[in-house]
Amino acid sequence: MATTNTPASAPASGLREFWYYFSVNRGAVIGLTVFAILVFVAIFAPLIAPFAPDEQFRDALLKPPIWDANADPRFILGTDPVGRDMLSRLIHGARYSLFIGFFVVVGALVVGVILGVLAGYFRGWVDVLIMRIMDIILAFPPLLLALVLVAILGPGLFNAMIAIALVLQPHFARLVRAAVMAEKSREYVTAAKLSGAGHLRLMMVTILPNCLGPLIVQATLSFSNAILEAAALGFLGMGAQPPTPEWGTMLASAREFILKAPWVVTFPGLAILITVLAINLIGDGLRDALDPKLKRS
């Protein structure tokens, strides 16, 4: 993990400085380690998982985890109501959560950055129009808006991801707009304009890279938000559909067994919590390392 983040060559002194500040934060390093393990587990899920996520053992329904007296030694974390291995399902579930987080953030980031840059660069009616639409989206509680959007698009993982990306995107737009407005009047932008740079170049090449710090922090926070919201939608039956081993969906189908077989509820939620916590720890570390001006909140 450390090797991927420690810059190898001299020109990357900015990176080295960043890593210095990031690694001071113990929580951030722990978060990054956990996240790296999760990524590894997600990539190699079929090789690591003892069974296929949908393989049913009819002779082993609702078996408790290995430390219980009634456990079946084949299933370390027990089995679910239809005899599927919990551990294998959780391992495969990591794929879904990270996939969801990644693509939702990329979608929200791309749309949000484009809208934010346009609004902050051109101001005037473009700005008013874009920011009023963002205000409208932000007036709804995010989960409620996502739910309604999924109701329109139809329940399912892909539609849930679109809905969540749409709900998270205004935060990027607002952030980028503010940053662009602050940078626009700087001398280096004027210099670039005088040397004949066009609008597109000014927006994307000159200004945008200087707004990256807060954007990276926001992207990290959105990553964890996206995972939480997708799990919530899955839990409410509007996200990934069974038998997909998505953690929220697993929780939904385990609800009726909460008193009889607590482990089918405990583990998927724990997996969500650990993943989200790891990403938020990274986010805190990034915030401290990238922009000391940004306050912890």
Partner 1 sequence: MLNYVLRRIALLVPTIIGISICAFAFVRVLPGDPILAMAGQHGVTPERYEILREQFGYNLPIWQQYFNYLWSVMQGDFGISLATKRPVINEFMALFPATMELAFVALLFAVVIGIPAGIFAAIKRGSWFDQITMGVALTGYSMPIFWWGLLLIIFFSGYLGWTPVSGRIALTFFLKPITGFMLIDTLLYGNWAAFVSALRHLILPAIVLGTIPLAVIARQTRSAMLEVLGEDYVRTARAKGMSPNRVVNVHALRNALIPVVTTIGLQVGLLLGGAILTETIFTWPGIGKWMIDSISKRDYVVVQSGLLIIALIVMSVNLIVDLLYALINPRIRVQ
Phi, psi of 140 (to 5 degrees): -90, 145
Tokens of 15: 């990176």
What kind and span of H or E run contains 29?
helix 26-43
CB closer to partner 1, 77 vs 189: 77
Q: Which of 56, 74, 58, 57 is nearest to 66 (CA)?
A: 74
Site for partner 1 in 195-224 (CB under 8 A): 224
Closest distance between partner 1 and the C-beta of residue 257, in Å?
10
Cβ at position 293, least distance to partner 1 in Å: 11
Q: What are phi and psi of 61, to 5 degrees?
A: -85, 135
**Stretch binding partner 1 (CB under 8 A), from 49-57, 170-178, 203-211, 227-235:** 227-235
Tell which residue, 45, 35, 152, has the closest CA to residue 96. 45
280 interacts with partner 1 by CB under 8 A? yes
Candidates 38-46, 76-84, 102-110, 139-147 — which segment interacts with partner 1 by CB under 8 A? 139-147
Residues 57-116 interacting with partner 1 (rule: CB under 8 A)? none
CB of 93 to partner 1, least distance (A): 13
152's CB contacts (< 8 A; 6+ apart) are: none
Considering only 2, 52, 110, 151, the residue that binds partner 1 (CB under 8 A) is: 151
Distance CA 174, CA 181 (A): 11
At residue 93, φ and ψ (nearest 5 deg) are -60, -30
Please give the Cα distance from 51 to 87 (Å, whole number): 9
CB of 42 to partner 1, least distance (A): 18
Which positions touch partner 1 (CB under 8 A)?
A: 27, 132-133, 135-136, 139-144, 147-148, 151-152, 154, 224, 228, 231-232, 235-238, 248, 251, 255, 258-259, 262, 265-266, 268-270, 272-273, 276-277, 280-281, 284, 295-297
